[in-house]
A and B are shown apart, each in its own frame.
Chain A
Amino acid sequence: MMHSLLAEGMGVQNWTYILVGITFTLYIGIAIWSRAGSTKEFYVAGGGVSPLANGMATAADWMSAASFISMAGIISFAGYDGAVYLMGWTGGYVLLALLLAPYLRKFGKFTVPDFIGDRYYSKTARIVAVFCALLVSFTYVAGQMRGVGIVFSRFLEVDINTGVIIGMLIVLFYAVLGGMKGITYTQVAQYCVLIFAFMVPAIFISIQMTGNPIPQLGFGGELTDGSGTYLLDKLDGLSTQLGFSEYTEGSKSLIDVFAITLALMVGTAGLPHVIVRFFTVKRVKDARKSAGIALLLIVLLYSTAPAVAVFARTNMIETVSNKPYAGVPDWFTKWETTGLISFTDKNNDGLIKYVANKEQNELIVDRDIMVLANPEIANLPDWVIALVAAGGLAAALSTAAGLLLVISASVSHDLIKKIINPKISEKGELIAARLSAVGAVCVAGYFGINPPGFVAAVVALAFGLAAASFFPAIILGIFYKRMNKEGAIAGMVAGITAMLLYMIKYKLGWFDETLPDKSEWWFGISPEGFGSIAMLLNFIVSIVIMKFTPAPPKDVQDIVENIRIPIGVGKAIKH
């Protein structure tokens, strides 16, 4: 028994070394091939990326460790409520494609603060935008580096910190050398790795449980056990038996589901690392098309995740609920040692009791298990298990690289070139960009190794911050010619302040002795959903202040008219 366990473990581990080794070599090879020679190549890959490549890169840029590792698990425990992430993180692309991407591409600069600074003809506006971009990107990137460390430590049994450092070195190599150009083409490769790694186990399990190779259809199908029961009906039944609410019903209030979905959608459309991807294509029509391709590629994973959630939850309940602890499968023991599964036999009957009631429940399962251990729970081959590790790393690294670029461009372009030293040479700016990328990687790595307690809490709120700051300022900048700097600055400051205060009070609990109860939330809206209120506040403040202050100068109004017309985009560099 001991021997076979060991042999099996070696199998997975060797496969993991092989697959991770191959993918990392690929990323480094791409980085060497696509070095950046100018600031335009460093910031926006020369502006000549094809819509398909940009769509794939955007999808990888967007899908982070959270999408790949945690999302299916979150849905698995939240049931219907998990839809806030599914709709929120995809619906934002419709806003992006229709309301932002084409016009920002036409505007044709390098960063989001570039747009805010020029459109609102003000250094103050640019500085406020830089502050928001850094705040959003840093909270987000710390979570990614942590994700890299976790995947390394679980699959390759190295220390989490060693994992973070290996991840830092890889990202450093291709982000610093290649800039946006290197990042774009590694992200294309990373999309392929991560989608393959996500789909293969899902298809295997779908066939096992429902006989249908398409997971999206499988989880609405009948079970293969001959009972003729629908899988979802069975899971609803199991959930209520154990005291949980019905899987397909959920437990959050309607207004909160509405608010969170809206905040995530608008936040997605306002995230600077996603927006800048649309600066890299050649023409305005390419920006629209690549947004469509990106969403299609994202939906491939996002529509599979709820199926994985249902398969994994049903499988888990069936495998462990009310079964003797002495007879648990190998994977259970293995994940127990990592602390992600824990069992305490409260009533000493030797059986695993898994119920909603916290007093009686004996089993605690970390949500990340649902994706990481899913192939093992379903007894899939070793190479499939190893593939999940390579996929998780691809997802975390691609997002981290995109964020680091936003950070370095904010510093070297928006702060140094546009504000501190406008006389800096092209070569000097490129060196500054590379140095700030190095600095950003080190800061991100530091947070990955020493995560402040509030990072996890804040990452989820990066969307709220983006929704409260950038989204209204950009939308008004494009669709409302009369919007002036006074309005936009006041709106951004009001939105982000409201969001930060609500977050500090109701998420971090720093204003009170203890974290205030849910019943004190304004209108019953959680901190995650408050981004939608803060966004409304931004819109209202912007418009009211604008009414009392002078209209923007004629040349700025001309910029607005100009970005609405899709011709006359600046020249791109051929790849």
Chain B
Amino acid sequence: MIDKKNAKAYWKENIKYLTWLLIIWFIVSFGAGILFKDALNSIKIGGFKLGFWFAQQGSMYVFAILIFVYVRLMNKLDKKYGYDA
């Protein structure tokens, strides 16, 4: 039988991770790539305007990194709560 208190605490920590990761997800895509694109475009890195780069390159790299960070965090969390069978 699953210990309810343990399960609740696990879920709470999971939600905390999700919230933070989704905030970053939002900032790099909808923030840097869309809402603040024009402001960021005044900064240039090599031939890339920064807003354009986030929209067509940077956001995608961050997305991939976010999932792997989540995988690591959750693997640790599973161990902490004894759910890593």
Residues of chain A at the chain B interface (Cβ within 8 Å):
75, 80, 82-83, 86-87, 90-91, 93-94, 97-99, 102, 216-217, 219-222, 230-233, 248, 254, 257-258, 261-262, 285, 288-289, 291-292, 295-296, 299, 302-303, 306, 561-562, 564-568
Contacts and interface: CB of A to CB of B under 8 A. Distances in A.
B67 A291 contact: yes
B21 A98 contact: yes
B55 A87 contact: yes
Interface in B42-85: 45-49, 52-53, 55-57, 59-61, 63-64, 66-68, 70-71, 74-75, 78, 83-85
A248 B52 contact: yes
Contact of B29 (A87, A254, A289): A87
A568 B53 CA distance: 43
Contacts of A233: 47
Contacts of A97: 67, 70-71
A254 B36 CA distance: 10
A567 B85 contact: yes
Contact of A94 (B14, B52, B53, B63): B63
A299 B30 contact: no
B33 A83 contact: yes
A73 to B, nearest CB: 15
Interface of B: 2, 4, 7, 10-11, 14, 18, 21-22, 25, 29-30, 33-35, 37, 41, 45-49, 52-53, 55-57, 59-61, 63-64, 66-68, 70-71, 74-75, 78, 83-85
Given A221-B46, A230-B46, A288 B63 contact: no
B41 to A, nearest CB: 7
Contacts of B18: 98-99
19 contacts: A80-B56, A83-B52, A83-B55, A87-B33, A94-B25, A94-B63, A216-B57, A220-B53, A254-B35, A258-B30, A285-B78, A288-B70, A291-B67, A292-B71, A299-B61, A306-B57, A565-B2, A565-B7, A566-B78
B67 A220 contact: no
B20 to A, nearest CB: 11
A199 to B, nearest CB: 16
A90 B85 CA distance: 31
Given A80-B55, A82-B56, A217-B46, 13 more contacts: A80-B37, A87-B29, A87-B55, A232-B48, A233-B47, A254-B35, A257-B34, A258-B35, A261-B29, A285-B78, A302-B60, A306-B57, A562-B2
Nearest to B62: A94
Chain A binding surface SS class: helix
A52 to B, nearest CB: 13
Nearest to B45: A220
Contacts of B34: 83, 254, 257-258, 261
Nearest to A222: B47
Contacts of B33: 83, 87
A303 B35 CA distance: 21
A99 B22 CA distance: 10
Nearest to B55: A83
Contact of A91 (B4, B25, B45): B25
Nearest to B56: A306
A299 B71 contact: no
Nearest to B47: A230
Nearest to A210: B47
Given A258-B30, A258-B35, A566-B78, A296 B64 contact: yes
A398 to B, nearest CB: 21
A291 B78 CA distance: 18
Contact of B74 (A75, A288, A567): A288
A248 B57 CA distance: 13
Contacts of A248: 41, 49, 52
A490 B75 CA distance: 37
A177 to B, nearest CB: 33
Contacts of A230: 46-47
Contacts of B60: 86-87, 90, 299, 302-303
B52 to A, nearest CB: 4
Contacts of B71: 97, 285, 288-289, 292
Contacts of A303: 57, 60-61
Contacts of B85: 567-568
Given A87-B29, A261-B29, A566-B83, A221 B47 contact: yes
A249 to B, nearest CB: 8
A82 B18 CA distance: 28
A503 B54 CA distance: 30
B55 A565 contact: no
A502 B83 CA distance: 45
Nearest to A288: B71
Nearest to B11: A564
B83 A561 contact: no
B48 to A, nearest CB: 4
Contacts of B74: 102, 285, 288, 566
A306 B49 CA distance: 14
B75 A285 contact: yes
Contacts of A288: 67, 70-71, 74
Nearest to A99: B18
Nearest to B22: A98
A170 to B, nearest CB: 31
Nearest to A286: B71
A444 to B, nearest CB: 30
Contacts of A306: 56-57
B24 to A, nearest CB: 9
A285 B64 CA distance: 16
